[in-house]
Amino acid sequence: MVPVTGSALEARYLAQLAARESRAAMVTETAVLWPRAAGLCDTCPARRLPGMQASLALAWPDLVRLRVDSFFGTALDLSLAGDSLRAYAPAQRAGVLLDAERDSLGVCGPGSLAVRLLSAAWRPPSGSWAGAAGSRVLRWTEGGDSVVVGFDDRGRPEQVEIRRSPGAGLRVTYERWESVNDVMWPTSIRMGSIQGEFEIRSRMSAVRFGARRASPRLATRIPADADLVGRERLLRWLRRIETAR
């Protein structure tokens, strides 16, 4: 079989991408997450944390909300909108409110990145297809990052790498795709840092598409009496938790 490359691969990918963007303006799904994190201190080993059940909602172009379940209700409610990150942990009555630029998260537009990651909505510049004749791998630069995307014969992304500097970056692997209402959708995703500091495997089910106007509120509500945790305090808190284990 002759590998599908060039203009044929471009046509297959762009047709599927258009279907995901136009028919899935709002997406809700159930997710099971399996995180693995390296130690936050020099002597802490990597840990495989317990699997977590969660509900996930996303809306183009840059809104994502994730609610992680616990035995007593919601363990964590997190939302991304453009450059902002909001999170609330009810049991600790602790909230996080960060801005990507002001708080130096190291990620430009985390909301947009999360939507593209979860929906495989990568937008290669038109010139990158011509430069990849005979190959199923595209390379381009975007906002100071280098992006590499590998595709299968059906025009579906298989693996994506985003690098800002040598040795640092994010790797995303789309391990399973399913047809949902005639739209190809990624239902098993592995995401992690290229340097191995963390990894999250996810398995999606009960995927539903809808109109944006019918969507639930996607912003995490942080109560007025919550203990707000800033970036530095959050990192110190995570280090104390890891060291105490």
Diameter of the chain measured on Cα atoms: 63
Domains contained in the chain, number: 1
3-state SS, residue 29: strand
Residue 93 covered by a domain: yes
Residue 230 counted as domain residue: yes
Amino acid sitting at position 220: T
The kind and range of the H/E element at 132 are: none
Q: How confident is the model at residue 196 (pLDDT cuts 50, 70, 90)?
A: confident
Answer yes or no: is pLDDT of 1 > 50.
no
Mean pLDDT of all residues in the chain?
Answer: 83
Question: In 3-state terms, what secondary structure has residue 121?
Answer: coil
Element of type H or E holding 40 = none
Tell me the three state secondary structure of residue 52.
strand
Specify the pLDDT at position 149: 95
Tell me the whole-structure pTM to 2 decimals.
0.85
Domain at 124, CATH number: 2.50.20.10
Render 206-243 in DSSP notation, one character per residue.
Answer: EEEEE-GGGPPP-SPP--TTSEEE-HHHHHHHHHHHHH
pLDDT score at 216: 55
In a domain, 1, yes or no: no
* pLDDT at position 110: 85
Domain that holds residue 73: 6-244
Distance CA 97, CA 240 (A): 20
Whether 177 is in a domain gets the answer yes
Q: What gap in Å lies between CA 94 and CA 226, rounded to an integer?
A: 5
Per-residue pLDDT tens over the stretch 18-69 = 999 887 788 999 999 998 876 545 455 555 667 889 999 999 889 999 999 8
